[in-house]
Amino acid sequence: MSLENKLIKFTNKGIYCPQGKFYVDPWFPVDYAVISHGHADHARWGMKHYLCHNDSKAILKHRIGNDIIIESLAYDESLLINGVNVSFYPAGHVIGSAQIRLEYKGYVVVFSGDYKTQSDFISTPYEPVKCDTFITESTFGLPIYKWKSEQELQTELQNWVKTNQENNRTSVFLGYSLGKAQRLMSLLDGTDDVYVHRAIYNLNEAIKDSGIKLPETKLWSTELTKKVLQNRIIIAPPALLGSRMLKRVPNAAVAKCSGWMQIRGNRRWQSLDAGFVVSDHADWDGLITAVKATEAEQVYVTHGSQAVFSKYLNEIGIKANELKTEYGDEALAKAEKESENISAV
């Protein structure tokens, strides 16, 4: 058996490191879980012990429970676990997101978690890590997906708000509570008053407890009058689309913010006023650049367009195999709604 297969095993609980006796982002309860970031499809309830990046610690405690046993590391800081050297490197996905580097007897495996190579205004920029085996996501692993720069996005979103205000409309942006919401806050900062749903507001407070500075926002609640909200900006979780709370917003113009908005049909199907291509994942070029930079001899491709992306990697001479996992947008949408107790009614 190769050293690569001794260092990681793919089990029904997730990716397991036999030497270290720990799992990476497991989807069922285990004794020791090394967590890449705080999204609910990667950081789940029930682990006896958690290890994450420093900036994810408060997020995990907020989402899973204050009583969890958890330790954390800074980027490029290492911890020896049963002979396996474990360290975190920036993934650029959301606040606190990390690639997980495992080293044992000179052999290196890197689990990317979710990542974005394009820099934004709020998360620590992605950093490539050389390794022997690389486990990469492929959420947007198709050539059609190509993102705009953060500056272009900022102009696009702020111009939409100004147009809405000229038409006496309130701008509502839909994005996940962790990651997308904070990124939207940074893109819209200084445009006008920004109100956020309670799930986002509470998570922001946990993030700020870690010493991270966030743009100023206000709590959006049903007690606020229509006059207060008129022409302002609201950021809410996607689960609120069609909800009574959203219907009470005066003259709402609703925009979904997601990489899936690259496909125009998604906007029409959901009857949105607008769709903005704002993704916290790497686009096609970003995925290719990231994989090449690792110089890995073996690549495993997880959630998303695994078949297309792994086929392409093999065609350009990089050995790649598909890896089935329980990560991805469908799992995240369900888990996020449950973890934040978001009601869509």
> What pLDDT is stored for residue 344 in this prediction?
46
Please list the ranges in the chain whose pLDDT falls under 50: 1, 344-345
Residue 54 Cα to chain centre, angstroms: 16
Strand-by-strand arrangement of the 274-276 sheet: 218-219, 194-196, 233-236, 170-174, 252-257, 274-276
pTM over 0.85: yes
> What pLDDT is stored for residue 345 in this prediction?
43
Hey, how many other C-beta atoms are within 10 angstroms of the C-beta on 215?
16
Q: Which CATH superfamily is domain 3-144+280-339 in?
A: Ribonuclease Z/Hydroxyacylglutathione hydrolase-like (3.60.15.10)
Same fold flag, 3-144+280-339 and 150-276: no
Q: Report how far residue 261's alpha carbon sits from residue 142's, in angstroms, rounded to the nearest whole number.
A: 14
Q: Report how far residue 90's alpha carbon sits from residue 127's, in angstroms, rounded to the nearest whole number.
A: 6
Hey, how many other C-beta atoms are within 10 angstroms of the C-beta on 66?
9
Q: For residue 17, list its beta bridge partners.
A: 22
Q: Report the topology of domain 150-276.
A: Rossmann fold (3.40.50)
The domain segmentation of the chain, as residue ranges, is 3-144+280-339, 150-276
Q: Report how far residue 230's alpha carbon sits from residue 252's, in angstroms, rounded to the nearest whole number.
A: 9
Q: Which amino acid is at 255?
A: A
User: Exposure of 90 by Cβ count < 10 A (0-12 exposed, 13-18 middle, 19+ buried)?
Assistant: buried
> What pLDDT is stored for residue 1 in this prediction?
39
Residue among 338, 342, 300, 345 at smallest CA distance from 15: 300
Q: Report how far residue 273's alpha carbon sits from residue 255's, in angstroms, rounded to the nearest whole number.
A: 6
In eight-state DSSP terms, residue 75 is: B
Cα→Cα distances 331→41, 43, 204, Å: 6, 12, 22
- Of all helices (H) and strands (E), which one includes residue 312? helix 306-315
Q: Report how far residue 161's alpha carbon sits from residue 233's, in angstroms, rounded to the nearest whole number.
A: 8
- Of all helices (H) and strands (E), which one includes residue 151? helix 150-166
> What pLDDT is stored for residue 210 in this prediction?
84
Say if CB 307 and CB 322 are below 8 A apart: yes
pLDDT in tens, 201-231: 999 999 998 889 999 999 999 899 999 999 9
Beta carbons within 8 Å of 228's beta carbon, 6+ residues apart: none
pLDDT in tens, 96-145: 999 999 999 999 999 999 999 999 999 999 999 999 999 999 999 999 99
**Phi, then psi, of 184 in degrees rounded to 5:** -60, -40
Say if CB 35 and CB 43 are below 8 A apart: yes
Place of tokens 């003259």: 251
Query: Tokens representing 108?
Result: 């290196």
**Phi, then psi, of 89 in degrees rounded to 5:** -135, 150
